[in-house]
Amino acid sequence: MAASSFYSLILLISLLSTTFTSMQGFIDDRLIQQVVSSDGRDDLLTSAEHQFSAFKKKYGKTYPTQDEEDYRFGVFISNLRRARRNQMMDPTAVHGVTKFSDLTPSEFGRRYLGSGRQIQLSKDLSKGPILPTDDLPLTMNWTAKGAVTPVKNQGTCDGCWAFSTIAVLEGAHFLANGQLFNLSEQQLIDCSTECNKNGKVCNHGCEGGNRVLAFKYMENSGGVVQAKNYRFIGNNSGLCNVTENSQIVASLCRFHLIEDDHDQYAANLVKHGPIAVSIPIKFLPAQTYTGGVFCPQVNCMSNEITRHAVVLVGYNNGTSTDSDQKKVFSWIVKNSWGNDWGEGGFFRVCRGLLKACGNHPVALYAIAKNNTTGSCA
Ligand SMILES: *[C@@H]1O[C@H](CO)[C@@H](O)[C@H](O)[C@H]1NC(C)=O
Ligand SMILES: *[C@@H]1O[C@H](CO)[C@@H](O)[C@H](O)[C@H]1NC(C)=O
Ligand SMILES: *[C@@H]1O[C@H](CO)[C@@H](O)[C@H](O)[C@H]1NC(C)=O
Ligand SMILES: *[C@@H]1O[C@H](CO)[C@@H](O)[C@H](O)[C@H]1NC(C)=O
Ligand SMILES: *[C@@H]1O[C@H](CO)[C@@H](O)[C@H](O)[C@H]1NC(C)=O
Ligand SMILES: *[C@@H]1O[C@H](CO)[C@@H](O)[C@H](O)[C@H]1NC(C)=O
Ligand SMILES: *[C@@H]1O[C@H](CO)[C@@H](O)[C@H](O)[C@H]1NC(C)=O
């Protein structure tokens, strides 16, 4: 290579590196790697240390030993790098430090992404009618309408199936009665232990379960008590503590599968309140998510697709706030990882992601009883 073109290449590289923010990210990434290899750049070490101490303070983290703390600091630094990578692959979301930033990806997966058991819904469920979709509002947000309780925290209990279906009953009860109750997931975890017809799929409390079996339990048991009367303890108590004296406040009339189509999801959400869905959670970079709209490219080749049960509580069919004003559609989703993750415990995903990886039915709605009349709409 001639000397002149060599120098223009150098010039080009230095121009690029000051121009592109992604390039800047790459450089920061390299600097963090240098921090890890501790080559004496104390200023950078201080910056990562500063972020780590802000993280510990914000989430009240303490570690039993200095060794553990040092180890967690190393994990934290690799998660900063991972957040930066996720940011490039998922630009409509914002990735950064979260309450999960001191966990390795496999610790996070084991604790929060479920057992890996495939939770299939049977296809013989009763489908709701096809609804008209021409007059749907541009935005829908059931939280703003008072149909959604504060975000809950399943902790390390793999009980997303109970949190998802309870949130649907809370919303349906609100629509039928005009009143919002915080209902008990623990009742489902302890009492909804049935299996399906062939005995192959059963509910296992905090070891995983199935939304359809949970709705069947609600349908057959008479209803659900308030959370304050049957508190969440985060494990299987081994005893179903519902008696004749238990004060059931919300009852399910019936539930239906929604036609597997986005516009039908939206129409049913508008008509019936929050709906239960399951998402291919391993493809969302949830450990580093701090807000915005998840929309990563997903590779569905893996045959171990864990689905996480959550609740659709709204959507936005408007334009983005970006300067290019391109049309975007996003779902507003309530999770059960506490209100100190994502957007106050909620997250948003782009349209395609909901049905990504496997075309099996995912969405269910419910109708609750009007407790004054005892009638079902
Ligand atoms: C939905 O409504 C709630 C309550 O008004 C609000 O805090 C939240 O930001 C809204 N969500 C979206 C995505 O607009
Ligand atoms: C429930 O039924 C009562 C009695 O008919 C009625 O007054 C009330 O409006 C109903 N609630 C809703 C939300 O429809
Ligand atoms: C609602 O119930 C959950 C447990 O299911 C509990 O953790 C939470 O504190 C309750 N929230 C309110 C606002 O009562
Ligand atoms: C379940 O949780 C409760 C309350 O936190 C605790 O007292 C109990 O020992 C736990 N049971 C098991 C089997 O872990
Ligand atoms: C069962 O629930 C009642 C309240 O409904 C409570 O007083 C009692 O302590 C509970 N028993 C157990 C074993 O949790
Ligand atoms: C979103 O808006 C487009 C028109 O811009 C419409 O065709 C589509 O049906 C809407 N989708 C939903 C779910 O409202
Ligand atoms: C219906 O809900 C209201 C509000 O909590 C309650 O006061 C009333 O006792 C309930 N009625 C029945 C029949 O459960």
Q: Which of 79, 203, 210, 335 is catalytic?
A: 335
Q: What is the pTM of this model?
A: 0.87
Identify which of 241, 242, 244 to mutate to test ligand 5's pocket (most ligand atoms within 8 A of the CB): 241
Q: Is the dihedral of CA 100, 103, 104, 107 positive or negative?
A: negative
Among 295, 120, 85, CA closest to 196 = 120
Q: Which atom of ligand 4 is found nearest the CA of 238?
A: 13
**pLDDT of the residue at 108:** 93
Q: Is the CB of 316 under 6 A from ligand 6?
A: no
CA of residue 92 to ligand 6 center, whole Å: 20
272 has catalytic annotation:
no
The pLDDT score that the predictor gives to residue 90 is 94
User: For residue 345, what are the contacts with CB-CB under 8 A and spacing of at least 6?
Assistant: 150, 151, 334, 335, 337, 338, 339
- Which atom of ligand 3 lies closest to the CA of 163? 5
308 in active site: yes
Pocket test for ligand 6, best of 261, 262, 263 (most atoms within 8 A of CB): 263
> Average pLDDT per run of 10 along the chain, which is 377 residues long?
44 40 43 43 70 96 97 96 94 96 93 66 80 95 98 95 97 98 98 86 90 94 97 95 94 94 95 93 91 87 75 87 67 97 96 72 91 90
Distance 246 CA to ligand 2 centre (A): 24
Whole-angstrom distance, CA of residue 377 vs CA of residue 371: 12
Contact 93, 289 (CB under 8 A): yes
- Identify the pLDDT of residue 198: 80
Pocket test for ligand 2, best of 175, 272, 372, 376 (most atoms within 8 A of CB): 372
Name which of 242, 204, 245 is nearest 220 in CA terms: 242
CB of 51 closer than 6 A to ligand 7? no
Ligand 2 binding residues, C-beta < 6 A: 176-178, 370, 372-373
Atom in ligand 5 nearest the alpha carbon of residue 243: 5
The domains located in the chain, with CATH, are 13-89 (no CATH), 112-368 (3.90.70.10)
Instruction: Judge contact between 247 and 219, C-beta under 8 A.
Output: no
Cα separation, 169 vs 184, whole angstroms: 10
